[in-house]
Structure 1
């Protein structure tokens, strides 16, 4: 559906969360490398509860989270410390993380704060062992450019990353502590974005600026985008956890559609004088039901939705209906979902049971009925949540936090948080940012141009290297005098090919890559042997480059040995050489390279082959 977003009053803003690639975590000396869950050495459990702010207020989002009784399990590793377990006060703000943050502030044209004070932000979903996240405002009032005009940067914060969600189960969640505490920069824009396309462009621009520092982590989950969206008659909605830039414009479009549908539903409900009754237990209605879900439940609760008939099943996003929104709230309280009369009879529920259900809650023809089947306590609290959301549907669009789905839709998570969840962190002293040694990094777009002009890379390879995760390794290689094209093609093409072939390229350190490239530059390894040698190093990272060359059987051969091999190939193909002359070069070149098996550089082989063919055809 195409909209005039200006007429609708679309307003959007972004929050970009990017992990920094530092040696240690933000408030302790633990490493920032991620671990696999099976590497954990022990675990412990916690129950978290919200606390009041300094003004004696409770944050609404934290309060709702606390109503869901869950046990949180934390996987600890051999590197896990007492700070991560919240059994010891945090250390000072990490200097390396702060310096990188100041570089990012320079790229965003931000004003840096005179002092950076660490605050506690209440989070009781289990993602922090302490029940709060530590966060510090570092800079404000920046700006980036887009094709549709400037977008202001409201603030930039340096904070600790949350624990990684490993598994969600009945009654609890398991987290991994390997991610907790990794330095994270959060960039919030002003609500200056007016179209879905501008939202995506702004995110791409910020992402490019972040990668320009060369000091941010790369890969899935290391950067996340949250998108705030509202239209004039709707409400502000925050969509969290957008993993891909390609999803941003679809999310904005779908959220606009959702709010328009909800507004239309609210108008219809108001015209019908809709209301929501108090929930009732209706377990006896389904005493002999053939519905497997309901029959396996301890109790069934239902609520009459007066005037909702035909609207609960109305689609508001692709494959999501108003009933799905109600179901999201029920799931937050442990239920598997809801049934409603816009979709019944179905799922083993008969027409007779539907009519009996309607009678049990005094529903008329224009009413809908929603029901939850679960354990007694779960069913009752879940149907209350459904009733609350249905009442909100009569009013219009609720302000809330939603989770981004891969298909461009979103689902309810919790109410929007407020200021009541912030209070000072008394264990960490404030820091005065030092700008004297901060240099503005070269933009990736500028780097591409430099690679083309100064290093002779073609435009495609220059862009691949500049935007790739091996950019810093490439820069180090060039500084060591390694041929730029050889270094670039190895880092961007050879490694990609090896990864596709199942080689564990993640085992290759920067030092290993540079040592192999230096072997090529020094004449100890032919370029054709780079792949096999890297394969050996990936399989056994303890090897040196020299040992890997030996293991691959690629110890270099001298020029005269290459000439001897070339002469042998020519003599085997004497008739072809006599007939075709230099026209036989391509076929014989392949045979020569095969005979040498990567032990000699292709340029040397080519030179000697042309020379020897020339001698025989002169």
Structure 2
């Protein structure tokens, strides 16, 4: 990837961080915030969403474009699903716990809380909310964080309700799960202060650290998402949605800069050529006897002449993405499978004779390009119009739009940027007065790490793993209950990681499982070496207690005398090796002893007794 002089290209970037809060109930109802398996759904709800005017009489452009495709939305409900989630009952009062956590976050970001929180409706265009809008409320403004490249302003902090989880998408519509809908979510927006990809990534990391410092945010895949706004001089503001990994932010920004630079270059070339876009033409007859399977399977083929575009539709603008890919994104949004264009033809079963006939049919010369869509009648007409519109934008430059972040850090078109008509007041929930006087500032994760080293004698690497890890609250509780800090830290950050790698379902482990198991070690009722076996049992049978898991793992009922007898028998069986190697036989015999005792005895006790037995025989 090309490295740019970001000051020279005029990079301006900002972030929107979306983080789920770990509250007991949802934002506007009393349902739990636990996730469910779609297979456990007890009912389904089907809806069709259509754009409506806001209470200000306006229609959002993004919602209008989405409505051009008639799609069915199916929502999976569970035994905990309520009428608020189904949009059959008005929302309840905003959750006090979520409000308290949001104010704590605002304090960490040095923000000014509003006097009164007014709930607003934000139009949702993809069906991910049963009501067709998301409820959102401004909590605080005017904050700041520091980065190595200077301060970054925090413009606003809002509480929102999380959208539904997408389960499946087909040509007919989308299936969503209602378990995630309504989980409290904070949205944190920065100013357009970020001037390099690295600064954007650092800012996101800092905000993430502050959020986790509250100990009140959810952890795991999908619980935090980053949207990145990027523009350059002579380009346009583009919102890149759904960046899942913090480590991808710098590459996402750099890739968008690359895309906009190439689009500007293409625009300049098109303007030099006096390029234009013609009217779509029905060219079904050109491909009447085609060998192209894709085209032959369609009942309509529409094409648009792109005058002066020859060689530019196939121009790469991001890795494995070309201007033609941008055209294809728009066609796909209209329901088509994609786009063919003359920069890549003949290919895919299309012959040179068919290309020549295509050019003639639309009035295109060798200096021009032609894009075509093969699809059912109504879809092909709509899709080729979308391609023509995107081609006109290519002449102008970079269009403002919302794009989806891809796993390879490129992006694809989603929809136009939403406008002001997207947001309007919520009439079913009363405003809430904000009182930040009792808000306490939590200990930062950076401060926890230092305390774990200085006060608990953890090494710096382990201290950082614990402080930033998902099990930090469990570690804090373990230390409060006088469990050895090193034992707790190594179990939470080492043993559980090893079990996960061995495909043990550690996600089923609860806080009580971990605390009870560590307490058994503290009380000398379980050897440290047995922790792995006990946690494995608990992960696979989460309804058991730690005591029951010890029995299930066969680790109970071993007294010191039994341990001594077992070790003496092993030493006697290997007496020849002991006489020959002396204490050099210790490591091999220690492994055999621990294997025979299977975690039933503490390693230090086994080591001590084994040394005694070796000394007796040398």
TM-score (norm 2): 0.97
Aligned to 2:243: 242
CA distance in 1, matches of 2:406, 2:515: 40
Q: How does 1:121-160 map to 2 (within 5 A)?
A: 121-160=122-161
Mapped to 2, the partners of 1:307 and 1:573 lie a distance apart of: 87
**2:586 aligned residue:** 585
Equivalence map 1:126-275=2 (5 Å): 126-275=127-276
The answer to whether structure 1 residue 537 and structure 2 residue 511 are counterparts is no
1-side partners of 2:318 and 2:548: how far apart?
59
**How far does residue 38 in structure 1 lie from its aligned partner after superposition?**
1.3
| Counterpart Cα distance in 2 of 1:546 and 1:36 | 29
CA deviation map 1:171-197 (0-9, x unaligned): 311111111111111110000000011
Residue 425 in structure 1 maps to residue 418 in structure 2: no
Alpha-carbon deviations, 1:479-527, whole Å to 9, x = none? 1111111111111111112222222222221111111111110011101
Q: CA deviation at 1:570?
A: 3.6
- The structural deviation recorded for 1:53 is 2.7
**Cα RMSD (Å):** 1.6
Q: Which whole-Å CA distance do the structure 2 matches of 1:561 and 1:351 have between them?
A: 86
Cα offset for 1:611? 4.5
1:477-556 maps to which residues of 2 (within 5 A)? 477-556=478-557
Match of 1:336 in 2: 337
Give me the whole-angstrom Cα distance separating, in 1, the residues matched to 2:35 and 2:22: 12
Aligned residues: 617
**Aligned 1:593-604 pairs, distance under 5 A:** 593-604=594-605
Distance 1:280 1:578, change over 3 A: closer
Question: SS where residue 241 of structure 1 aligns?
Answer: strand
Could you say which residue in structure 2 is the equivalent of 1:50? 51
Inter-CA distance 578–354: structure 2 relative to 1 (3 Å threshold): closer
CA distance in 2, matches of 1:229, 1:386: 24
Q: Structure 1 residue 78: deviation in Å?
A: 1.7
- Give the 5 Å matches for 1:271-350: 271-350=272-351
The equivalent of 2:76 in structure 1 is 75
Distance in 2, Cα, partners of 1:364 & 1:552: 78
Structure 2 CA distance, aligned partners of 1:365 and 1:468? 60
Partner of 1:371: helix, strand, or coil?
strand
Cα distance between partner residues in 1 of 2:429 and 2:144: 30
In structure 1, C-alpha distance between the alignment counterparts of 2:72 and 2:570, rounded to whole Å: 72
Query: Conserved in 1, the CA contact under 8 Å of 2:115 and 2:435?
Result: no
- Specify the alignment match of 1:387 in structure 2: 388
Contact 1:137 1:156 in 2 (8 A): yes
Q: CA deviation at 1:359?
A: 1.3
Deviates more, 1:567-576 or 1:228-237: 567-576
Residue 441 of structure 1 aligns with which residue?
A: 442
User: 1:11 is matched with which residue?
Assistant: 12
SS of the aligned residue for 1:14 comes to strand
Cα separation, 2, equivalents of 1:298 and 1:46: 30
Matched residue, 2:608: 607
SS at match of 2:274: coil
Q: Distance in 1 between matches of 2:349 and 2:541?
A: 58
Asked if the contact 1:525/1:556 (under 8 Å) is kept, the reply is: no
Q: What displacement does 1:148 show?
A: 0.7
Give a deviation string over 1:266-319, Cα, whole Å, max 9, x none.
111111111111112111111111111111111111111111111111111111
Q: Report what 2:28 is aligned to.
A: 27
Whole-angstrom distance in 1 between the partners of 2:374 and 2:25: 48
* Distance in 1 (alpha carbons) for counterparts of 2:139 and 2:339: 45
Q: Distance in 1 between matches of 2:346 and 2:610?
A: 81
In the aligned structure 1, how far is the partner of 2:347 from the partner of 2:426?
54
Contact 1:20 1:215 in 2 (8 A): yes
Distance 1:293 1:589 in 2: 67
For residue 388 of structure 1, report the CA deviation from its aligned partner. Answer: 0.8
Q: 1:575 to 1:299 in 2, by over 3 A?
A: closer
Does the 8 A contact of 2:575 with 2:617 survive in 1? no
Q: What is the CA–CA distance in structure 1 between the aligned matches of 2:41 and 2:77, rounded to whole Å?
A: 5
1:442, CA displacement in angstroms? 1.1
Helix, strand or coil: the match of 1:73? strand
Residue by residue, what CA displacement relative to the aligned partner does 1:424-450 show, whole Å, maximum 9, x if unpaired?
Answer: 111111112232332111111111111
**Deviates further, 276-285 or 428-437:** 428-437
Unaligned stretches of 5+ residues in structure 1: none
CA distance 1:291–1:581, change in 2 (3 Å): closer
Which has the larger displacement, 596-605 or 161-170?
596-605
How far apart, in 2, do the equivalents of 1:18 and 1:93 lie? 17
- CA drift of 1:576 comes to 4.7
Q: Distance in 2 between matches of 1:29 and 1:340?
A: 54
In the alignment, the residues of structure 1 paired with residue 580 and residue 71 of structure 2 have an alpha-carbon distance, to the nearest angstrom, of 83
Q: Secondary structure at the match of 2:151?
A: strand
Q: Secondary structure at the match of 1:334?
A: coil
Equivalent-residue separation in structure 2 for 1:286 and 1:580 (angstroms): 85
In 1, Cα distance between equivalents of 2:63 and 2:462: 48
Query: Which is worse superposed, 542-551 or 369-378?
Result: 542-551
The DSSP-based 3-state class of the residue aligned with 1:156 is strand
Does the aligned pair in 2 maintain the 1:533–1:548 contact within 8 Å?
Answer: yes
Partner residue, 1:413:
414
Any unmatched runs of 5+ in structure 2? none
**Residues 139 and 568 of structure 1: is their aligned pair in 2 closer, same or farther, counting only changes over 3 Å?**
same
* Aligned mates of 1:543, 1:12 — CA distance in 2: 50
Secondary structure of 2:116's partner?
coil
Contact conserved, 1:235 with 1:399, CA < 8 A, in 2? Answer: yes
Q: Is the 8 A contact 1:115 1:433 kept in 2?
A: yes
